[in-house]
Structures are given as structure tokens and as C-alpha cells.
Amino acid sequence: MARLPVVADKFYPGDPTELRQQIAGFVSTDEPGKPAAAVMVPHAGYVYSGKIAGETFAQVEIPETVILIGPNHQGYGAPVSLGTEDWAMPMGSVPFAVDVAAALLQNSSVIVSDNSAHQYEHSLEVEIPFLQFFQPRLSIVPLVVSHISYKKCQQVARDLALAISFYDGPVLLVASSDMTHYESREDAEPKDHLALEYLLKMDPEGLYNTVVTNRISMCGVIPATITLLVAREIGSTGAELIRYTDSGEVSGDTSQVVGYAGVVIR
């Protein structure tokens, strides 16, 4: 049984031709992407965050195998839930990467197979059309995570790094996260740049503690923390901010914004 879309025609067009055209409009370069270990991209409706997601993905050579890590907004399932279904998407079916998933489930004490966590969750779904746009042979390892301790983040990251080391081929990590939610631009922007400072320094513990201590409503801080930990484990040395913006750029309302950032880790 395949996992069906839940935000098609809400967050992005459900018609494949219209969807492909919209994504093409977000991609601002004809230059081929370069290999990367990971990206962090937002997961709002495309009208708000599609451009920054497209700009970020366009910087990267998308391999056939991608590990997606997103926050669990809906609350279903285990704290760290691996989806083991294919995904039926408007631009075609996307299989889950059996080899990587099997290695994770065999060796991890914290990652469990749980499709219920993915059934209504949008944080990974909105990234997949971008990945399909750049990589038609895409297969995925979808993970959604609740708010877990830093120690648990380290455990998940070790398990992911081990699975990647076993895999014969390139793997991209995608951390799905928006930044501050529903605060004024004046308040949100400094908070977001404080969090991004640690992300760009490749400091996962600093990112985790800063977001928690300062009560920054960055919904994907756990995916971002895990992704940084894995990236460091597999030898990444630097992160680049592609762009930061907020929903007010589109809506014109800066009294209550959601922040968005695109980051590439190499």
C-alpha cells in the first residue's frame, strides 16, 4: 500500500504539469548542482516558501537516494518513525530505499518502522516534488521525529551515519524545517539568525540548546540537529546560507510571520 498525498492542491499543485512548471519557475539557475551532504529547506505552502526551497535544491546534485528528516506536527506514531511505504505523488510514485531502511531498522534501538506517523504529516511531502524535479530515479528514506533529547539525537545520528557508510552510493540528507512561527518580523528575524549562526558553525549542540533556551519556535530543530550530527560524522566541514526570508515577503504582513531558511552543507 502506498502513502497518499495529504497537501496536494493545498500546499502545492496536484496537477503534475502545473506542479512541474511551478517548480521550474522557482529554480533561478541553469548551472548544474554540486554534490552535498545535506540541505535544510522549509516546508510551507509553495506560495510562501517554494522559491527558497527551489533555490536551495538547485545548488545541489540530487542523488538517487535521499534521507528525509522532518518534524512530527501531527503527533501520531513513535518518537522516531521510519516510513516503509512507497509514496504516491502527483509527479509519480517514489519508492522507499529498502537497503538503507533495512540497515537502519536492523542496527538502531531508537528508529522504528511506523507508517502511521507519516499518514497525515506534510513536512516531508512538500519536499518530494523538488527532489523528483531534479532526480527522476529518486528513492527515499522518510523519517519524522518528535521533540527528543539531544542524547537521543546523537543516537539517531550515529545510526544514520552507520547506514550511510554501509550504502554503496551517494546519499543526501534533507532536514525539513521552518524557522520562527507567528511573531513579528522585528522579533523573529534576530531569533532566527541566532539559531542559524549555530547551524552555519556546524554546532549541533549549540543549535539545540539555543533554540530550547531562547524558546525559538523552529519546528524542525530536531531534524536540523540530527542532520548536523550526521554531516559532521561523515566528514562535512561547512554550511552555507542560501537565503533567509519570511512569509511577510509574500503576504505583506510583517506583524505575524513565519521564517524560512535554505542551507546547504558540504
Where are the chain's structural domains? Answer: 16-265
- b/e map of 235-261 (b: 16 or more CB within 10 Å)? ebeebebbebbbbbebeeeeeebbbbb
pLDDT band at 178; cut points 50, 70, 90: very high
161 pLDDT higher than 90:
yes
CB 87 within 8 A of CB 94: yes
Quick one: DSSP state of residue 118?
T
* Strand positions, DSSP E, the chain: 38-41, 65-71, 80-82, 87-89, 92-94, 112-113, 139-145, 171-176, 181-183, 239-246, 257-265
How many residues make up the chain in this entry? Answer: 266
Per-residue pLDDT at 28 exceeds 90: no
pLDDT digits (tens, 9 = 90+) for 48-66: 999 999 999 999 999 999 9
Burial 113-147 (b: 16+ CB within 10 A, else e): ebbebbeebbbbbbbbbbbbbbbeebbbbbbbbbe
Q: What is the rounded average pLDDT of the residues 171-200?
A: 98
Scanning the structure block, which residue is given the C-alpha cell 499543485? Answer: 13
* pLDDT tens-digit readout, 186-206: 999 999 999 999 999 999 999
Q: Over 80: is that where the pLDDT of 166 sits?
A: yes
Q: Distance between CA atoms of 192 and 244, rounded to whole angstroms? A: 9
Query: What pTM did the predictor assign?
Result: 0.97
Mean pLDDT of 8-31: 95
Q: Is a pLDDT exceeding 90 seen at residue 11?
A: yes
Q: How far apart are CA 62 and CA 50, in angstroms?
A: 17
Q: For the domain 16-265, what is the CATH superfamily, name and number?
A: LigB-like (3.40.830.10)
State residue 53's pLDDT score: 98
- The grid coordinates of residue 258 equal 513565519
Three-state secondary-structure class, residue 68? strand
The per-residue pLDDT for range 123-157, each reduced to its tens digit, is 999 999 999 999 999 999 999 999 999 999 999 99
